[in-house]
Structure 1
Amino acid sequence: MGFYNGRVTFLRFQVSGPAPRLFDAEHLDRLADRAAGRQRLAAADGVETGWTAGDHVLDTDFLLDKNVINDTLHFELRVDVDKLPADLMRAYTAVELKALSKNNPSGTASARQKREAKEAARDRLEDEAKDGRYRKRKCFPVLWDRLSNEVLFGATSLTQVDRLCSLFEQTFQLKLEAVTAGRRAYLLSELHNRTRQVDDSAPSAFVPGGTADVAWIADESSRDFLGNEFLLWLWYYTDIESDTLKLADDSDATVMIARSLTLECPRGQTGHETISHEGPTRLAEARRAIQTGKLPRKCGLTLVRHDQQYELAIHAETLAVSSAKIPPPPEDVTDARAKLDERATQLRALVETLDLVYDVFCSRRFGKAWEEDLPGMQRWLKREERRAA
């Protein structure tokens, strides 16, 4: 099952309404009612969606001992789409065209005959597709954590997110809201009574002539640009101050930017670049990019907390996690069920660690510390001072 083995990728969603008291047979029955393959009417785009139980693409046996693990409900979204093969489409078109134009005096097919041949080829393929021979099935893992009342979704595509949200609401009569950088900042601000500061925030000018707009943030009310500032602040703090952060629960987290770094111009003028290196922030080209005003949009992170190490890539605006490596269970945990329970605990620990690290940034970003951090980052980005450092 997706979240219980290998590396994990996920977007986070807050579930509307109160958290379930427990996951029981009612939840499994609701999943079974909308199991993949039961839908007889495809969506307007010809795509069918449904739930599977996680063992394979045809598994619709939802069971408590299989799908409920350590206060989490684990299942998968299956997306079925008929994809007509392009090479066969071309072959059928050629056959039809040859038959239609064989008596043409000119020896070439007319424009109308070409249209008719293409239509006939498509009709033939669509008729063949009725038996499912061209159907492509793909599953995306879903994990509903009762303790946080959040859903982790193992895909970052907006198209798949829309399908998840729609089917989840139809199944459970509950809505999902993406926990992006801006949304997470608001959730934290409610805990610390700083909602007004988040409302009034605007993109910071880190370099002279910095823009107040960020090209990839289309919604003016969104505060997702905070994710870009978060990654740049992490870079600054670990470069100038320390690679260890004191978290709100009095634990420590060691943070290292590693393996990959994607930077982009917020004005949409000078493009973007992706750097792959063991320590990408140490490279001259990465430093030159941020000195010209580019902002991080994605980076690899290594996090260590409570002697547990996590490796992952994080997307700035959505706070989506990609290819996260979860620590293995302790050697003394040998029972298969206990290993699954430990895996759920480690997933929660990863999410909690990311939230606590982001909370450190938000506490500074919306507190008096930003009056020192922002000028410090501006000086840090000046070419002459970086050369001196």
Structure 2
Amino acid sequence: MGFFAGRVTCLRFKVNGPAPRQFDDEHLARLSDHQAGRQRIASADGVETGWTAGEHILDTDFGFEKNIINDTLNFELRVDTEKLPGDLLRAYTAVELKALSKDNPSGFASARQKREAKEIARQRLEQEAKDGRYRKRKCVPVLWDRQTNEVLFGATSLTQVDRLTSLFEQTFGHELECVTAGRRAYQLAELHSLTRSVDDAAPSAFVPNASPDIAWIADDSSRDFIGNEFLLWLWYYTDIESDTLKLLDGSEVTLMLARTLNLECPRGQTGHETITHEGPTRLPEARRAIQSGKLPRKVGLTLVRNSDQYELTLHAETLGVGGAKLPPPDEGADARGKLDDRANQLRELVQTLDLLYDAFGQKRFSGAWQAELEGMQKWLKRGERNAA
């Protein structure tokens, strides 16, 4: 069910409000009040949203055993979209048009008849649609962790984010704030009194004549470009320094960039490229791309911390996690114990990514960054032969 089986994909959201003392009947009742299928009036774009309990697309039976696991509240966002089939609309229109124009002396349909035929066809389809035959339903898992007071949303695309945040606020009375690269950098910088440095941050010039603007960052106040710099720094660190990094809590993480790499020109001029390989950063074409000024937008990572291994894809600007493979649960545990263990593994994954990002932030927003940047600039200038 949702985050408790298979690979994990998610965006993170901060709940703007106090964490619940515990999840209880009140939370389940609120989910039930806003369950999928209860809404009778669709939004302006014809889309209906509601919560489901997670077992299947029609499950609205919320309960403790199913939806409250190890200090987390688990449910799903269902999005119902009415989409009238275009091919059937055209067929109905043709049938109606033939009937309307059969007695025309010219043998051709008039403009008025064409409009009338199309309107009749649409009304026929809308009448048929009332029984739900043309409704498309999609569920996306949601997990609210009481310990961190964060919500994980099972997607990396921002397509359904507005629907999630709107319905969550209607249901629980709290706004959600997406934890993007810039926002998380600021939150972590507060721990080290470095928030001023985040406010003052501008894109780093890794190569000569680097663009001062990032094409995919439309908002001048956004600091989400820090996520692109983070992924490039991981590449540099593992290539020059070590594959192991000491973290703030005293633990160590061993990391490898693997499987996939997506790079894009920050000027929006030379396009993007996606490289799929066991070690994509070792390929000459990947190095030529960053030497030309392209920045990573997505990279595959293998992380090992506290003897647990995680495989995932990390998106730069949103810090969204794609297809994360978590360590297997304890085989000796019962079914409930395995679910509890899975919740802990999710927390460990999020904590590992935070600690890794914080290790970069402590360099990026301190006096040590200038020396680190110069090291990265020299690294990028090296020829392929020296880099191998």
* Alignment TM-score > 0.5, same fold: yes
Query: Which residue in the other structure is 2:330 paired with?
Result: 330
Q: Can you list the C-alpha shifts for 1:261-285, whole angstroms capped at 9, x where unaligned?
A: 0000000000111111111001111
Q: Is the 8 A contact 1:92 1:121 kept in 2?
A: yes
**Matched residue, 1:252:** 252
Deviations 1:149-192 (A, max 9, x none): 00000123323110000000000000000000000001001111
Which secondary structure state, in structure 1, belongs to the residue aligned with residue 255 of structure 2? strand
How far did 1:383 drift?
4.7
Whole-Å separation in 1 of the counterparts to 2:208 and 2:112:
60
1:122-143 deviation line (CA, Å, top 9, x unaligned): 1110111011111111111000
Q: What fraction of aligned residue pairs are identical, expressed as a percent?
A: 76
Report the equivalent of 2:367: 368
Give the equivalent residue in structure 2 for 1:100.
Answer: 100
1:157–1:119 CA distance, 2 compared to 1 (3 A): farther
| One-letter amino acid of the counterpart of residue 255, structure 1 | L
Q: Which whole-Å deviations, capped at 9, do the CAs of 1:62-104 have from their partners, x for residues lacking one?
A: 1112110000000001111111112211211111121122233
Larger displacement relative to structure 2 (81-90 or 33-42) = 81-90
Residues 43-122 of structure 1 mapped to structure 2, 5 A cutoff: 43-122=43-122
Give 1:387's aligned residue. Answer: 385
Which residue of structure 2 lines up, in the alignment, with residue 353 of structure 1? Answer: 352
Matches of 1:162 and 1:17, distance apart in 2: 18
Moved more, 372-381 or 195-204: 372-381
Cα-to-partner distance string for 1:221-245 (whole Å, 9 max, x where unaligned): 1100000000000001101111111
Partners of 1:375 and 1:273 lie apart in 2 by 26
Check whether the contact 1:11–1:178 (CA below 8 A) recurs between aligned residues: yes
Distance 1:366 1:286 in 2: 27
Comparing 88-97 with 226-235, which one deviates more in the overlay? 88-97
Aligned partners of 1:90, 1:217: CA distance in 2, in Å?
Answer: 41
Please tell me whether the aligned partners of residues 291 and 383 of structure 1 are also in contact (alpha carbons under 8 angstroms): no
C-alpha separation between the residues in 1 aligned to 2:255 and 2:113?
65
The offset of 1:352, in angstroms, is 0.4
Map of 1:198 onto structure 2: 198
| Structure 1 counterpart SS, 2:107 | coil
Instruction: Tell me the distance in 2 between the aligned counterparts of 1:382 and 1:113.
Output: 69
Work out the CA distance in 1 between the residues paired with 2:211 and 2:126.
51
Provide the residue aligned with 1:12 in structure 2: 12
Alpha-carbon distance in 2 for matches of 1:190, 1:20:
24
After TM superposition, list the pairs within 5 Å mapping 1:1-389 onto structure 2. Answer: 1-333=1-333, 335-384=334-383, 386-389=384-387
Runs of 4+, deviation exceeding 4 Å: none
Structure 2: stretches of 5+ with no match in the other structure:
none
State the Cα deviation string for residues 351-384 of structure 1 (Å, max 9, x = none): 0000000001000101122122101111111153
Residues 16 and 175 in structure 1, CA contact (< 8 A), matched pair in contact too: yes
| Separation of aligned partners in 1, 2:142 and 2:386 | 49
SS of the aligned residue for 2:336 comes to helix
User: What CA RMSD, in Å, does the superposition of the two structures yield over aligned residues?
Assistant: 1.1
What one-letter code is carried by the residue in structure 2 that aligns with 1:341? D
Once residues 204 and 164 of structure 1 are traced to their aligned partners in structure 2, the CA distance between those partners, rounded to angstroms, is 34
Amino acid at match of 2:290: I
Secondary structure, aligned partner of 1:217 = coil
Q: Distance in 2 between matches of 1:326 and 1:295?
A: 28
List gaps (5 residues or longer) in structure 1.
none
Please say which of residues 35-44 and 171-180 is displaced more in the overlay: 35-44
TM-score between the two structures when normalised by the length of structure 2:
0.98
Q: Which amino acid aligns with 2:60?
A: T
The farther-off stretch of 248-257 and 88-97 is 88-97
Equivalents in 2 of 1:61, 1:224: separation in Å?
A: 39
Q: CA deviation at 1:118?
A: 2.0
With normalisation by structure 1, the TM-score equals 0.97
The letter for the 1-side match of 2:22 is L
| 3-state DSSP of counterpart to 2:151 | strand
How far apart, in 2, do the equivalents of 1:166 and 1:238 lie?
41
d(CA) in 2 for partners of 1:315 and 1:151? 18
Instruction: Look up the equivalent residue of 1:381 and give its one-letter code.
Output: L
